[in-house]
Structure 1
C-alpha cells in the first residue's frame, strides 16, 4: 500500500508512454530479471553512476518501489566510483514525489526512504559500488551514466552489465528549471522501472 501522494506519482508514471528506443534498452534488464525469477534465484540490482548522487539513487529507489509494488522480490542497491553525497536537490525531488524521508548525519548523510507505512526503508547514501551494504557477487550492474559505463570496464562480482543511461539533471542546477528537471528525470526513471517490473511473469 503506497503512501497516498506517492501513489499519485506512480499512477502518473505508469501512464507515461515508453518510447520504442527505450523499450529496447530496457528489454535487456527485463530479460535479466525474468531469468532470475524463472530460476528461483535472488535478484540483486546495483545501479551505478560516477558519484552515486542523483541518477543511480533515483534508480535504486524507484526500482525497489516497483519490485515491491509488483511483488517481485528484489534487492536494489546503488553505488559509484567516487563517494560524494545523495544530492539534496535529488532528495527534494523524491520528497515531492511522495516518499517519506528521514535523515541521519550531516557529512554524506544516510536517508531512510519509505514508500509505505509497513515496508522497510530504502537506505540511500553515496558509496562505492562495492560498499559492504551492497551485495558483492551475482548481481546485475546497471550503468546509469555514460561516464561510469565507459570508465569502469570491469565490475567485480557482476554477472551481468546492463547500460540504462539517463541524462544528468545536474545540468540544470541553480537555474529556474532545476526542480522541474529533477522531477522530470525522477518521473522518467519511475516510469521505466515500473515498466520493467510490469513485464515480469511470476512463477508462483
Structure 2
C-alpha cells in the first residue's frame, strides 16, 4: 500500500468518535461480511447512490482500501446509481490528496478512472453506472444504500442477498462555495473511518 495512504489510514484507527448509534447502523454490514468470511465465501458489496458520482464511489473505494488494510481476502467492491452521470472531479481530487493514485484511462462525458491504492494490486475501476450495469454483480451481493433518495427510490434491488442502508450527507451541498474542499475532505474521511471500523471488526478464519 502506498506510504502516504497507509499513514492516513493509521490515523483513522481511533474509533471512539463513532457514536454507539452509528456503530449500530454499521453492524449489519459487519455481520454480512463476517458470515461470508466464516463460510469461506467471497464478499461482494455494491454501494448505491442516486447518481453514482460522489458518496457511492467514496464508499466503494474506502471499503476496498480498508479490506486490504486489514487483509480481508476475497473482497470485491462495486458502486452504482439509479442513473448514470459521471464521477465528480472533486472526488478524484480529494482521494488523490488522501494518498490514492488515480489515472484517467478513458476520456469521455463519463470518464473511466483507474484508482490505485497499492503498487502491485489491481486498481479499482471508477466510472458512473447504474447499479445493475453489466460491470456489477448480478447476484450474491449486498446492496449498501449510501443516500436516502436511492434507498427510498429502490425498494427492490434484483440479485441482492441483503440491503443495508448506510447513508451519508451529500458533499454536493458545498459545490461552488468556499467550503467545497473542506466538505469533500470531511465526507471522504468520515466514510473512510467508518469503513475502517467495519473491517477492523472482521475476524479472519
Distance in structure 2 (CA, Å) of the matches to 1:31 and 1:54? 25
Q: Give how far 1:35 is off.
A: 0.7
Q: Give how far 1:177 is off.
A: 0.7
Q: Give how far 1:106 is off.
A: 2.5
Q: Give how far 1:13 is off.
A: 2.2
1:8 maps onto 2:10 in alignment: no
Q: Which residue number in structure 2 is paired with residue 19 of structure 1?
A: 19
- 1:10-159 to structure 2, matched below 5 A, reads 10-16=9-15, 17-73=17-73, 74-104=75-105, 105-159=107-161
The two structures, once aligned, show a CA RMSD in angstroms of 0.9
Cα deviations by residue, 1:133-186 (Å, 9 ceiling, x for unpaired)? 111101000000000000000000001000000000000001111011001000
Q: Which residue number in structure 1 is paired with residue 186 of structure 2?
A: 184
Cα deviations by residue, 1:101-137 (Å, 9 ceiling, x for unpaired)? 0002131111100111111100010001011111110
Structure 1 residue ranges, 4+ long, deviating more than 4 angstroms after superposition = none
Q: Give how far 1:14 is off.
A: 2.0
Contact kept? 1:13, 1:188, Cα under 8 Å: no
Q: Which residue number in structure 1 is paired with residue 172 of structure 2?
A: 170
TM-score by length of 1: 0.97
Residue aligned with 2:77, SS: strand
Distance in structure 2 (CA, Å) of the matches to 1:58 and 1:197? 16
Q: Give how far 1:18 is off.
A: 1.3
Aligned length: 202
Structure 2's unaligned 5+ residue stretches are none
Residue aligned with 2:11, SS: helix
Residue aligned with 1:200, SS: coil
Cα deviations by residue, 1:41-92 (Å, 9 ceiling, x for unpaired)? 1110000000000000000000001111111121000000110000011111
Distance in structure 2 (CA, Å) of the matches to 1:9 and 1:107? 32
TM-score by length of 2: 0.96
